[in-house]
Structure 1
Amino acid sequence: MNSPYSFADWQAGKRPKKGWDCADAIDDGWTGKQLDAFMRATARPWTPPQQAGKAAEDAPPQAERLPVGGNGSGASETPRIKPKIAVVKGEIHRAVQLAIAVLSNQETGIFARADELVRPVTHLAPSQTLTVTKQGENVSRPDGSVIVTTLTEAALVEVLTERALFVKFNLRVKDFVPCDCPPEVARTILARKGHNWTMPRLRAVISAPTLRPDGTVINEPGYDAKTGLLLVGERLWRHVPENPSKREAVDALAVLSEPIASLPFVSESDRAAALALLITSVLRPGLKAAPMFAVSAPSAGTGKSLVVDVAAVMATGRRVAVITPTPDEAELEKRIGACALAGDQILSIDNVTHILRSDQLCQMLTQDEVQVRVLGSSKNVRIPATSLICATGNNLTVYGDLNRRTIQIRLDAKMERPEERHFKFDAIDLAMRKRPELVAAALTIVRAYWSAGLPNMAPPMGNFEDWSGLVRSSLIWLGLADCRGDVAAQRAADPEKDELAEIIEALPIGPFTAREIGIRVAESPLLREALSFFMERNGVFSSKRFGRYLARYSGTRIGGRCIEQMPRDNSNSSVWRIAGDDRDPSKSSQGEPEIGMADW
């Protein structure tokens, strides 16, 4: 009988018998510590065999070494060991948990965004193609923009295969051999939708320093666990004083004003609003919510897009991502949702020629998270709402609730061809060259106001209290006009009130239902004109949409009158009437006999 091969024999340099393995070592009386020391000393990287042979078959899979960080992080001289994940039938949950642990390492570059797994990528438009996609027509972003993409099953399989050593048992060699990450492992991870995920949570990818909620600055590249923000890029940023004085804030304001100094603002409040836009472009990822900025002018070429591009250069180093406008609310929501899913830091609905209205825009401006539809799919995804939204247009008009969620920036060159003006410098080129100074100036202004104790804070702006308390109030503290401008004039110009007044005037005094109005629309051209918004593309009146409109504006008074809901009729339909109406019941507003329910 052969004598045991002891740990001391191995230390003395003696070789074991042929075929001796760890199971034999246990039989020979080796302890766990001795086995661990033996494995650490004898482990070597495994490489696929070049040709079949017994030596290759007998070689057990070993840990593979990868550079820390991977993907050219610059730390390739420091190796790390790929974790081994054994795939065993009946124990897929163990492989899934180990795979989640691999993905939870920040160096992997995979993040959890709501209930999706994502990773940041650099956007590059196709340079050699004859096909222009619909998305390319509707959303345009500069090359080099950093966006977020959702990981598919195949992409997750690739990442896990690269970052971990998967092994499965091979009956032929009676041992574990390397394999790719099984698709069912990736599929199970994605199907969990956040359950037991330990991956770092991503709020937004940023390309410039910003402030945390406690006022400290994020200026080091990488993931910030406190805020969920990922700062990308290797640029060296200017130091922002911890407690800057008001004098330093005034100097910073002069720096920040330089790129937009030549623009023809209508009033000082419009200039303050433009400066608020520049500051907000840097602070938006750390704010709970921020208003939309609408840049308007009487004619093209005044500089509307220029203001937004300067803000985008500060935040991203590139011009703004542009959305093609459309009066179709559903289509506009798809385009906005596509940008939100991609994580665009700042986006612009450019050259709007119609009344801008969108319920989804209202939600994106005020909610911390928003639900958007994935293009080409019926799936809805809930994501953080962190994009700064802008809109530009000639005499731009904003509708309803969106109006009070908007900061207006008005420009007027007071000339027939403003695009022919000559400027002393290129504002975009200046912003590119002085980007670190501009970002530091924006942060210095807010930090100085913070250090001063937030004195004389402006009256709160509904849904945007933190933005108003920092951005708006800091500019007022420095002696600028209130960037909200003339709120009363903006509300008076809201087309929502004009539309509601016109509809109330057109509706009959007596009780009516939405369906009865639909029948009457076909008979009355004046009523059809007043309710044209509720006509579908095929020319059919939408009673459902009109019923929702009546419910939404029930009790809203215009000129002493309002829409009022009455008890339901025998058919259980909602019945409405115009309350507080002083018109002659025997006459309608169009001079036609009033139509009551009995007449219909």
Structure 2
Amino acid sequence: MPYVDGAGAEAETVKKLVAMLISGETFWLVDNVVGTWKSPVIASLLSDGALSERILGGNQWYRGDARLMVCATGNNASLDRDLGRRFIRVRIDTGVETPQTRDFNFDPVDKALAMRIEIAAAVLSLIRAYWDANASAAGVGDCGFAEWTRLVRQCILWLGATGLTEQAGLGKIGDPAWSILQEASEDDPETSAHLMLMTGLFDVFAGVSFRAKDVLNLWGAGERADTDDPAGMVREALGALMRQLGQGGPTAIGIGRVLQHRRDRVVNGMCFRLAGTDRNGVKAWCVAAAGDAGTGRSYPDLKRP
């Protein structure tokens, strides 16, 4: 199915998913994703493996498992933070200007169908060998997909660690979950703006606390968003985050929401921490290392820039 974006895209996605699951589809290809793909509906589907939604044209509901393999294609497209940790990304670089002109001496679909039994037998043999080896778990975490990690990822890591992939002529192989563990946010513009905002604020306020009003003053302190200057980094990042929220120019309340929404979220080892609250309920913030739990002191006791 073609990629759909803009207003109403999520509602349309729900309709398609319900129809596909009712008809028993097991594979879904979203073709030609453009820009940064963001879909809370698909993120929830991939995590839960189930769907509960109203069937179009009535008051009946579909409730059931979603045994659906979801794939997507795109030309230099990217995923937001949530989808980025739910998809394994594969990048194909043909090294030519017009890849559509290339010729091949076989059809991969025909070959896979012709060799289906041999492929399945080979896969089962590898899994059986891994189980019989009773090898200890390798890799970091379960990537949020524990069953896949136990059945597929751990087996591949074991094959690489024992040198079997090199003996088979495949060379050294990496962690199939690399794109989930290490790259989930690198293409997400919201995460990039978040990191730029933290970096700029840390430099401007020299590591001490600040209020939303203090950040707002930086917005009016200059017109040019010079990312070589910490204050310029703050203005650039704020502008991007406000646009993503559908807001106009920054206000103290809006900036407060930006900070609150990103509280304790770790990016590149840093995060926004609530440093305290004054008697009027005004919050003070600081940029801290991920392991720093914050001071917990009230605002009047905090050092001010």
Q: CA deviation at 1:533?
A: 0.4
Q: 1:391 to 1:576 in 2, by over 3 A?
A: farther
- Contact preservation (8 Å) 1:333, 1:358: no
Q: Which residue of 2 aligns with 1:595?
A: none
Structure-1 separation of matches of 2:154 and 2:67: 21
Q: CA deviation at 1:394?
A: 1.8
- Contact preservation (8 Å) 1:325, 1:350: no
| TM-score, normalising length: structure 1 | 0.35
Pairing of 1:202-281 with structure 2 (within 5 A): none
- Contact preservation (8 Å) 1:564, 1:576: yes
CA offsets 1:519-550 (integer angstroms, 9 cap, x no match): x99xx8954444110117xx799999987764
Q: CA deviation at 1:554?
A: 0.6
Residues 1:455 and 2:164 are matched in the alignment: no
Structure-2 separation of matches of 1:438 and 1:492: 34
Q: CA deviation at 1:382?
A: 3.8
| % identical equivalent positions | 23
Q: 1:435 to 1:455 in 2, by over 3 A?
A: same
CA offsets 1:541-597 (integer angstroms, 9 cap, x no match): 999998776444212355755153754986x8xx5443138xxxxxxxxxxxxxxxx
Q: Which residue of 2 aligns with 1:500?
A: 194
- Contact preservation (8 Å) 2:130, 2:155: yes
Structure 2's unaligned 5+ residue stretches are 166-172, 225-234, 289-305
What secondary structure is seen at the aligned counterpart in 2 of 1:350? strand
Structure-2 separation of matches of 1:354 and 1:423: 30
Residues 1:580 and 2:287 are matched in the alignment: yes
Structure-1 separation of matches of 2:177 and 2:258: 29
Opposite residue 3 of structure 2, the aligned amino acid is T
Quick one: which of 60, 75, 89 aligns to 1:408?
89
- Contact preservation (8 Å) 2:263, 2:272: yes
- Contact preservation (8 Å) 1:351, 1:392: yes
What secondary structure is seen at the aligned counterpart in 1 of 2:79? coil
- Contact preservation (8 Å) 1:534, 1:546: no
Q: Which residue of 2 aligns with 1:474?
A: 155
Q: Which has the higher helix share?
A: 2
CA offsets 1:210-254 (integer angstroms, 9 cap, x no match): xxxxxxxxxxxxxxxxxxxxxxxxxxxxxxxxxxxxxxxxxxxxx
Opposite residue 490 of structure 1, the aligned amino acid is E
Residues 1:490 and 2:200 are matched in the alignment: no
Q: Which residue of 2 aligns with 1:532?
A: 243
CA offsets 1:433-492 (integer angstroms, 9 cap, x no match): 444444444444434534x25534433423212211111222334434232247675256
Pairing of 1:11-160 with structure 2 (within 5 A): none
- Contact preservation (8 Å) 2:274, 2:286: yes
Q: Which residue of 2 aligns with 1:511?
A: 211
Structure-2 separation of matches of 1:461 and 1:503: 30
CA offsets 1:49-77 (integer angstroms, 9 cap, x no match): xxxxxxxxxxxxxxxxxxxxxxxxxxxxx
Q: Which residue of 1 aligns with 2:67?
A: 386
Opposite residue 262 of structure 2, the aligned amino acid is Y
What secondary structure is seen at the aligned counterpart in 2 of 1:580? strand
Q: Which residue of 2 aligns with 1:32?
A: none
Q: Which residue of 1 aligns with 2:301?
A: none
What secondary structure is seen at the aligned counterpart in 1 of 2:138? coil
Structure-2 separation of matches of 1:492 and 1:382: 32
Residues 1:326 and 2:37 are matched in the alignment: no
Opposite residue 324 of structure 1, the aligned amino acid is Y
Structure-2 separation of matches of 1:404 and 1:558: 14
Q: CA deviation at 1:399?
A: 1.8
Structure-1 separation of matches of 2:210 and 2:152: 50
Q: 1:414 to 1:421 in 2, by over 3 A?
A: same
Opposite residue 562 of structure 1, the aligned amino acid is F
Pairing of 1:326-405 with structure 2 (within 5 A): 326=5, 331-332=9-10, 334-335=12-13, 338-340=16-18, 342-343=20-21, 344-375=25-56, 381-405=62-86
What secondary structure is seen at the aligned counterpart in 1 of 2:70? strand
- Contact preservation (8 Å) 2:212, 2:256: no
Residues 1:555 and 2:255 are matched in the alignment: no
Structure-2 separation of matches of 1:351 and 1:425: 24
Structure-1 separation of matches of 2:142 and 2:39: 20
- Contact preservation (8 Å) 1:340, 1:385: no
Q: CA deviation at 1:426?
A: 1.1
Q: 1:543 to 1:432 in 2, by over 3 A?
A: farther
- Contact preservation (8 Å) 1:407, 1:484: yes
Q: CA deviation at 1:335?
A: 1.1
CA offsets 1:154-187 (integer angstroms, 9 cap, x no match): xxxxxxxxxxxxxxxxxxxxxxxxxxxxxxxxxx
CA offsets 1:323-352 (integer angstroms, 9 cap, x no match): 524255x62364156325522312122211
Quick one: which of 90, 100, 106 aligns to 1:425?
106
Structure-2 separation of matches of 1:331 and 1:545: 26
Structure-2 separation of matches of 1:375 and 1:437: 42
Structure 1's unaligned 5+ residue stretches are 1-321, 582-600
- Contact preservation (8 Å) 1:346, 1:388: yes
- Contact preservation (8 Å) 2:138, 2:154: yes
Q: CA deviation at 1:413?
A: 1.1
Q: CA deviation at 1:428?
A: 1.9
Structure-2 separation of matches of 1:419 and 1:500: 38
Q: CA deviation at 1:393?
A: 1.4
Q: CA deviation at 1:425?
A: 0.5
Structure-1 separation of matches of 2:244 and 2:143: 29
